[in-house]
Amino acid sequence: MQQVVPDFLQAALDAGEEPSRQRLLAPGFDIPSRFDSPTKADRIALRKRLGLPVDTPVVLSVSALNASQKRLDYLIRELAGLDTPHPFPMLLGETEAESGAVLDLARHCLGQGNFAHRTVRPDEVDEYYSAADMTVLASTREGFGRAYVEGLAHGLPCLAHDYGNARHILGAHGYFADFNQQGALTGLLRQVLSEPGTDQSMQVHHQDAFQRFACSSLRADYVELVRFATTVAPRDREQVDPR
C-alpha cells in the first residue's frame, strides 16, 4: 500500500496494517530541475496579460471554489481584516454549487473588482503561480495537498493550516497558523507581506520541491515500489476467485 504522507502511514499502522506492506511515497510532479525566477519586468508583463493588478500584491488560491472543504469564506474574511488596499485574491479553480455564495461574500467583504475568479486549463495554471506573490490553501485537511507542492515549486511563500500534511510537504519553507482561529491567517498575511521574497529564497523553495516531489527525483522509488508489489509471495497476495 502506497501512503503519500506520514500521517496516513501512521493511521494505517494504528489500524493494524502490516508494516512491511506499507510504503511512504509521495505523488510525482512535473517539476523542472532548473528554475528561472521571473524578473520584475516579466511579472508586470504577465500580470497585464492575465488582467491582474500590477502594483498590488496578488494572493493566489488554487482550489475548488467552495467553503465546505477549501474554506474560501475564511480566506475572504481574513483578507478583509487587512488594512486597505487589500492584497488582490486570485481564486483559481472549478466552480460548484457553493461558488455563488463564496463570490457574493467576496463582493461584500472586498468589493466588486477587488478580486478575481477563473477556471482555466491545467496547462495555464503555471502562469498564475508565476504572476503571484504568495499562495494560500485555506483548507484544514487535504488528501495530499497538490497546491502546496505547486506553490513551493514556483518559489512562492506558501501559507497553510498547521497540520501534518502541510508540515510534511512545506517543511521549513511554509508559513503556518491555526486556520480554525479568526485572525490567524490575517496575521500570517501581514507577516509575509512584510517579508518580500528574494531570488535566493525562490530558488531554495524550488529545489526542495524538485528534490522531494519531481517525477525524475522519485523514479527509482517508484521502480522499487513496483518491483516490491510484483514480487510479493503468492501467499501474501489477496486471493481472488477467478470465477
**Whether residues 16 and 114 fall in one domain:** no
- CB contact set of 103 (below 8 Å; sequence gap of 6+): 65, 117
**Whether residues 49 and 97 fall in one domain:** yes
**Whether residues 190 and 218 fall in one domain:** no
- Number of compact structural domains in the chain: 2
**Whether residues 166 and 240 fall in one domain:** no
The Cα–Cα gap between 241 and 243 comes to 5
Residue 130's region, left for phi above 0, alpha for psi from -120 to 50, else beta, is: alpha
**Whether residues 223 and 181 fall in one domain:** no
The Cα–Cα gap between 164 and 141 comes to 9
**Whether residues 220 and 205 fall in one domain:** no
**Whether residues 15 and 120 fall in one domain:** no
The Cα–Cα gap between 25 and 4 comes to 5
- Find, among 151, 139, 138, the residue nearest to 208 by Cα: 151
**Cβ-based neighbour number of residue 20 at 10 Å:** 9
Q: To which residue does cell 486570485 refer?
A: 90
**Whether residues 114 and 18 fall in one domain:** no
Q: List per-residue pLDDT tens for the chain, 243 residues long.
A: 899 999 999 999 999 999 988 999 999 999 999 999 888 899 999 999 999 999 999 999 999 999 999 999 999 999 999 998 899 999 999 999 999 999 999 999 999 999 999 999 999 999 999 999 999 999 999 999 999 999 999 999 999 999 999 999 999 999 999 999 999 999 999 999 998 778 999 999 999 999 999 999 999 999 999 988 888 645 454 544 444
- Find, among 54, 93, 62, 64, the residue nearest to 156 by Cα: 62
**Whether residues 44 and 137 fall in one domain:** yes
Q: Which domain holds residue 76?
A: 33-213
Count how many Cα atoms sit within 13 Å of the Cα of residue 243 in the half-sphere of its side chain: 0
Grid cell of 167 as nine digits: 508540515
**Whether residues 15 and 126 fall in one domain:** no
pTM higher than 0.95, yes or no? no
